[in-house]
Amino acid sequence: MKFLITLFSFFITTLLTAQTMQVGIFYNQQITSYTVSVQAGRYILECDGDKYGEYKSDNIFYINLQDGKIEIRDKNNQIGSFKKIALNNADKNCVFAIRGISPSTQTIEYDDAVIFEVADNKLKVINHVDLEKYIAGVIEAEGGYQAPIEYYKAQAVLIRTYTIKNIYKHAEEGFNLCDNVHCQAFHGRSQRNPEIYTATSLTAGQVLIDKDSILVMSPFHSSCGGQTSNAGMYWQSDLPYLQGVIDPFCNGLHNYTWEKQIPISDWYSFLRSMGIKQPENYTSYTARTRQKFYINNSPQVTFRQIREKYGLKSSFFSISKNETQIIFSGKGYGHGIGMCQIGAMEMARVGYTYVDIIHFYFQQVDMTDYREMELHRY
């Protein structure tokens, strides 16, 4: 019951402050001590709910998990041991830097507030961050930092759509999303290209909905290799707004083609393990269009299974052999569904807008502001 109440109050808080995200950072890293330093703005330190003091830049905290409690000291004093420590931002533009000490990590800068909590004798770190600043951070981690602004705007809309659609993904752990690819990669604040944050601001609130006004799945990948994939070719089933398109924009650019070789004996034993009786019949294939099945009798073998078995860059490839090796000659990098990032960058470079880019890769979608949506349509 207590758990349900916690969960319920989390939902209510999240709804009321939907423009602030709670992101589990250093998720799954099992770090037991950190240093945190104030980089910009004023912070209020709260220990177990009580205000301890105000800090400006040039302050550093040492935080350590000890006997199920969080020990904290600043550069002058031992502050104490607590269950929960919050460094709340008192100004609009506050930045802190954090570094794992045990085990050691790089120093990473984040915007806004940070909370430390103990759960199951582990130290949990949650970044409370403005939603648009979070989106800029994800764009930088997932989308590169040297691209035209219209590409960043398209990327912002897709990442925001995912964020709102999955806002309760980690609710049981007391935050919204984690910082690794289980949700979306988020490696701190965006700081390598100011256009990224400009792009999120200019599209603030915008998300993609389908014809029933429900938030869509909004995937993207590095390169489609000339054609994107129907959702059902790679996932369980098709979606009306995720149908493959012929993409001339990524042609010949980064990640367009790849090749990988494996020993023939390896290939045969893989096919046998999949139930194929005569694997020597399967050494030649020409990929003209994307397909779901490489072998579509019973048993079946999908291109995705082959990709995952051999760590291939994509599931869009031809097969040939020489004396000793099977040769996979492929196109594209990633699952191929939704927006092709390399193609989208090229579209932006030659003058298309982010709205053009989105409608090129997604069918029958509209844009709306999530702050005006009914919640059940998330």
Please report how close the Cβ of residue 329 comes to Zn ion at its closest, in angstroms. 17
Instruction: Determine if 211 is a binding residue for Zn ion (CB under 5 A).
Output: no
Tokens found for residue 63: 């935080």
Nearer to Zn ion, 338 or 343 (CB): 343
Please report how close the Cβ of residue 261 comes to Zn ion at its closest, in angstroms. 25
Nearer to Zn ion, 162 or 241 (CB): 162
Stretch that binds Zn ion, among 63-71, 92-100, 243-251, 268-276 (CB under 5 A): 243-251
Stretch that binds Zn ion, among 47-55, 175-183, 192-200, 319-327 (CB under 5 A): 175-183
Angle between helices 149-165 and 131-143 (to 10 degrees): 120
Helices and strands (DSSP H and E) totals, the chain: 9, 22
Nearer to Zn ion, 100 or 338 (CB): 338
Answer for the pair 208, 157: CB distance below 8 angstroms, yes or no: yes
Q: Which residues within the stretch 88-117 sit at the binding site for Zn ion (CB under 5 A)?
A: none
Tokens found for residue 29: 């890293």
Buried residues in 210-220 as b, exposed as e (16+ CB within 10 A)? beeeebbbbbb
Among 224, 233, 276, 337, contact with Zn ion (rule: CB under 5 A): 224
DSSP string for 145-182 = SSS-HHHHHHHHHHHHHHHHHTTTTTGGGTSSEESSTT
Please report how close the Cβ of residue 326 comes to Zn ion at its closest, in angstroms. 26
Q: Which residues within the stretch 126-155 sit at the binding site for Zn ion (CB under 5 A)?
A: none
Answer for the pair 369, 160: CB distance below 8 angstroms, yes or no: no
Please report how close the Cβ of residue 250 comes to Zn ion at its closest, in angstroms. 3
Instruction: Determine if 250 is a binding residue for Zn ion (CB under 5 A).
Output: yes
Instruction: Determine if 21 is a binding residue for Zn ion (CB under 5 A).
Output: no
Amino acid at 84: K
Instruction: Determine if 72 is a binding residue for Zn ion (CB under 5 A).
Output: no
Strands 60-66 and 84-89: unpaired
Instruction: Determine if 182 is a binding residue for Zn ion (CB under 5 A).
Output: yes
Nearer to Zn ion, 79 or 147 (CB): 147
Instruction: Determine if 167 is a binding residue for Zn ion (CB under 5 A).
Output: no
Count, residues near Zn ion per rule CB under 5 A: 8
Pattern of binders to Zn ion over 343-372, x per CB under 5 A?
x-----------------------------
Please report how close the Cβ of residue 336 comes to Zn ion at its closest, in angstroms. 8
Going from the C-alpha of 309 to that of each of 1, 11, 57, 165, 271, the distances in angstroms are: 44, 40, 50, 30, 11
Given the structure tokens 């690819």, which residue do they identify? 181
Residue 6: how many other CB atoms lie within 10 Å: 13
Please report how close the Cβ of residue 112 comes to Zn ion at its closest, in angstroms. 19
Q: Which residues contribute to the site for Zn ion (CB under 5 A)?
A: 178, 182-183, 224, 247, 250, 340, 343
